[in-house]
Amino acid sequence: MKCVKCRQPAVVEVRRHNAGFCREHFVEHVLRQVERTIDELDMLRRDDRILVAVSGGKDSLALWDILQRLGYRADGLHVHLGIGEYSSESAVKTRAFAEGRGLTLHEVSVAEELGFGIEELSRRTRRIPCSACGTTKRHLFNRFAREHGYTVVATGHNLDDEAATLLGNILHWQTEYLGRQSAAMEATESGLVRKVKPLVRLAEREVAAYAVLQGIDYQVDECPMAVGATSHLYKEVLNRLEEVAPGTKHQFLWGFYERGRRHFPHESRTLNACKVCGEPTTGEICAYCRLAERARAAAAGTR
Ligand code: Q46
Ligand code: ZN
Ligand code: ZN
């Protein structure tokens, strides 16, 4: 197969575009896809102070790299989750990436916040690890961005991630989540910082190919807490469909953004300041503070 641009041997094939690319033109293709997503969904402005949620995996490091190349000002925030070796290794990769490129990296540790990491948080509260982890990360990213004057938080969710989430939301008819599922969430007056997912036009394997071709040294191990997560099954099913009909994932997700979402309720919720931490919440006490309280109570043997 040859590169569609220069007819040199292709190193990456993108079946849904029915195209092969050499290294140089694949990198250019990726940058163009991300730029287009940012423009179409009005995700970022040139004067934005962007905080990239960097886990040390391929998606977040590729995103950070791409935003730099596109000329945006973006700092990173790494949350140390306290999931054994996996977390230590992820921190090492993230720091090396930032140092190698002279980028500003902030770090926050769940153990320093709560007294224990995600593994123990999930055990104490009997919550599914990814659910406890998601609540914690959302809280920490929003709070950090708000307190440090960042105008937008960017995450590395790719096409596969978002299509799998969409499939899960549809299978369970989570109409409220469907109304809110978006790659660009606006800020609220109550203190939710704008959130964007600039990689949603790129499939997971394209992001991985980009990271490898750019020489990005990322955490290749899967998070051990994700074993058995239903999102993996949804991704497998979608990949199976994609094999037979290239373009399915893109049509599914982007068709939803363009034609599906408007059919689901999208009421702007009234948010209050959490009585404990001050972060926005629909109730009196935010999900993170309730989780933390449950974990502390479990440790004290009061439940
Ligand atoms: S880190 Fe956390 Fe992920 Fe691990 S526990 Fe689940 S959500 S899988 S992105
Ligand atoms: Zn080429
Ligand atoms: Zn709170």
Name beta bridge partners: 75: 51
Over residues 126-154, the pLDDT tens digits come to 999 999 999 999 999 999 999 999 999 99
Q: How far is CA 54 from CA 59, 60, 90, 177, 179, in A?
A: 9, 5, 9, 24, 27
pLDDT tens by residue, 154-202? 999 999 999 999 999 999 999 999 999 999 999 999 899 999 999 999 9
Per-residue pLDDT tens digits for 56-83: 999 999 999 999 999 999 999 999 999 9
Q: Look at residue 8 and tell me whether its pLDDT is greater than 60.
A: yes
Quick check: 248 pLDDT over 60? Answer: yes
- Percent of the chain exceeding pLDDT 90 equals 92
Give me the helices (H) in the chain, please.
Answer: 23-40, 58-69, 84-101, 110-114, 118-125, 129-147, 159-171, 175-180, 204-213, 230-244, 248-255, 287-299
Q: Measure the N-to-C terminal CA separation of the chain; round to a whole number of Å.
A: 63
Q: How confident is the model at residue 267 (pLDDT cuts 50, 70, 90)?
A: confident
Distance between Cα 26 and ligand 2 center (Å): 7
Return the pLDDT at 302: 57
Residue 303 clears pLDDT 70, i.e. is over it: no
Rounded mean pLDDT of 81-93?
97
Ligand 1 pocket: which of 59, 81, 93, 130 to mutate (most atoms within 8 A of CB): 130
* Average model confidence (pLDDT) across the chain: 95
Alpha carbons 281 and 288: distance in angstroms, whole number: 10
Per-residue pLDDT at 276:
95
Window from 36-50, 207-221, 285-299 with minimum mean pLDDT:
285-299
pLDDT band at 298 (very low <50, low <70, confident <90, very high): confident
Task: Please state, in angstroms and rounded to a whole number, the distance separating the CA atoms of residues 64 and 214.
Answer: 12
pLDDT at site 65: 98
Q: How confident is the model at residue 227 (pLDDT cuts 50, 70, 90)?
A: confident
Ligand 1: lining residues by beta carbon, under 6 Å: 81, 118, 129-130, 133-134, 223, 225-226
In whole angstroms, what is the distance from residue 77 CA to residue 5 CA?
37
Tokens of 96: 């090396």
**pLDDT (tens digit, 9 = 90+) per residue, 100-113?**
999 999 999 999 99
Higher pLDDT, 228 or 8: 8
The preferred substitution site among 55, 118, 197 for testing ligand 1, maximizing ligand atoms within 8 Å of CB, is 118
Residue 280 has pLDDT above 90, yes or no: yes
Residue ranges of domains in the chain: 27-234+241-267
How high is the pLDDT of residue 270? 84
- C-alpha pair distances (Å), 86 with each of 83, 140, 224, 278: 6, 20, 8, 31
Both tokens of residue 209?
């190919």
Which class is 27-234+241-267 in CATH? alpha beta
Conformation bin of residue 210: beta by default, left when phi > 0, alpha when psi is -120 to 50: alpha
- Cβ neighbour number for residue 70 with a 10 Å cutoff: 15
- Please tell me the predicted confidence (pLDDT) of residue 220: 96
Q: Which ligand is nearest to the CA of 1?
A: 2
- The predicted structure's pLDDT at residue 141: 98
CA 142–ligand 3 middle distance (angstroms): 12
Residue closest by Cα to atom 5 of ligand 1: 130
Nearest ligand, CA 290: 3
Which amino acid, residue 92? V
The per-residue pLDDT for 228 is 79
Nearest CA to ligand 1 atom 4: 223
* pLDDT for residue 239: 98
